C-alpha cells in the first residue's frame, strides 16, 4: 500500500484498526472478478481510503454509499456519538464534509465516487454487477440484514463480500454483522476467503 495513502487512512476518523484495513486492501487488491467495488457505510472515509488504495493499483472504481447522518449508535447519547460531526445549522450529524476532505487530501477523488442516500434506496436502482461489496453500515438488525439482502445478490461469481465488526461473542460487539456473516455461509452462496480481526471476507461460489 502506498505510504501516503496508508498515512491518510491512519489519520482519518473512524473505527477500523489498521490491520483490518490492510486486510481489506489486500482482499481488494487480489480481486479476480470484474466490476466496481461498492462500500455500504463510509462514515468519514477511513475504510474507503484502504479500498481506494487498492482501486488505484487495479484500475477500479469505488462507489461508497452513505446517508452521512450517522447510524443509531452514533446519535447523541449513544456510545459512538462524536459532537464534532454535528452540523450546527441542523443539529444533525453530517460526516460528508469530512469524507470529502479526506478523499481530496488522499488524492482519491478520481477513484472514489460518494453516493449520498439511504442504502436501500440506492440498491433498488443499482444494476451494475459488483466485484467486491464491503458492508459496514448500520449495525442494528434491520439495517444490517437489509444491506445484505439488497446488495449481496449483486456480487458476481468469484467476487468478494466483506463484512466488518463480526464478533461471535456478543460481549465483544453487536450481533447483526455476525448474523449476516453466518447467514451468507449458511445459505451456500458464499465461502470463507480470509479473516483479519473482526473483518470477514467471503467469496461468492
Q: Check: CB of residue 140 under 8 Å from CB of residue 72.
A: yes
pLDDT digits (tens, 9 = 90+) for 6-28: 999 999 999 899 999 999 999 99
C-alpha cell at 82: 462524536
* Tens-digit pLDDT profile for residues 93-129: 899 999 999 999 999 999 999 999 999 999 999 999 9
Higher pLDDT, 67 or 51: 51
- Contact present, 52 and 106 (Cβ < 8 Å): yes
pLDDT in tens, 149-170: 999 999 999 999 999 999 988 8
pLDDT in tens, 79-96: 666 777 787 888 788 999
CB 138 within 8 A of CB 144: yes
State how far the Cα of 169 lies from the Cα of 180, in Å rounded to an integer. 14
State the pLDDT at residue 89.
Answer: 82
The percentage of the chain sitting over the pLDDT mark of 90, rounded to a whole number, equals 80
Q: What is the mean pLDDT of residues 173-184?
A: 92
- Quick one: which of 200, 159, 154 has its CA closest to 180? 200
The contacts of residue 46 (CB under 8 Å, 6+ apart) are 9, 12, 13, 14, 15, 16, 21, 102
- pLDDT at residue 128, as a whole number: 98
Q: Which residues are catalytic?
A: 139
Amino acid at each position: 500500500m502506498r505510504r501516503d495513502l496508508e498515512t491518510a487512512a491512519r489519520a482519518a476518523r473512524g473505527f477500523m484498526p489498521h490491520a483490518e484495513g490492510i486486510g481489506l486492501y489486500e482482499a481488494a487488491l487480489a480481486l479476480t472478478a470484474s466490476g466496481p467495488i461498492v462500500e455500504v457505510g463510509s462514515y468519514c472515509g477511513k475504510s474507503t481510503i484502504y479500498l481506494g488504495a487498492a482501486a488505484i493499483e487495479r484500475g477500479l472504481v469505488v462507489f461508497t454509499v452513505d446517508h452521512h447522518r450517522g447510524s443509531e449508535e452514533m446519535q447523541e447519547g449513544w456510545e459512538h456519538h462524536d459532537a464534532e460531526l454535528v452540523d450546527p445549522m441542523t443539529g444533525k450529524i453530517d460526516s460528508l464534509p469530512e469524507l470529502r476532505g479526506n478523499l481530496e487530501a488522499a488524492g482519491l477523488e478520481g477513484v472514489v465516487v460518494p453516493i449520498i442516500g439511504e442504502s436501500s434506496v440506492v440498491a433498488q436502482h443499482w444494476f451494475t454487477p459488483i466485484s467486491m461489496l464491503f458492508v459496514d453500515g448500520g449495525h442494528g438488525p434491520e439495517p444490517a440484514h437489509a444491506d445484505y439482502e439488497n446488495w449481496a445478490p449483486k456480487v458476481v461469481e468469484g467476487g468478494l463480500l466483506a463484512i466488518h465488526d463480526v464478533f461471535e461473542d456478543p460481549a465483544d460487539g453487536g450481533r447483526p454483522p455476525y448474523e449476516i456473516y453466518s447467514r451468507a455461509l449458511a445459505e451456500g452462496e458464499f465461502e470463507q476467503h480470509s479473516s483479519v480481526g473482526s473483518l470477514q471476507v467471503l467469496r461468492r461460489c
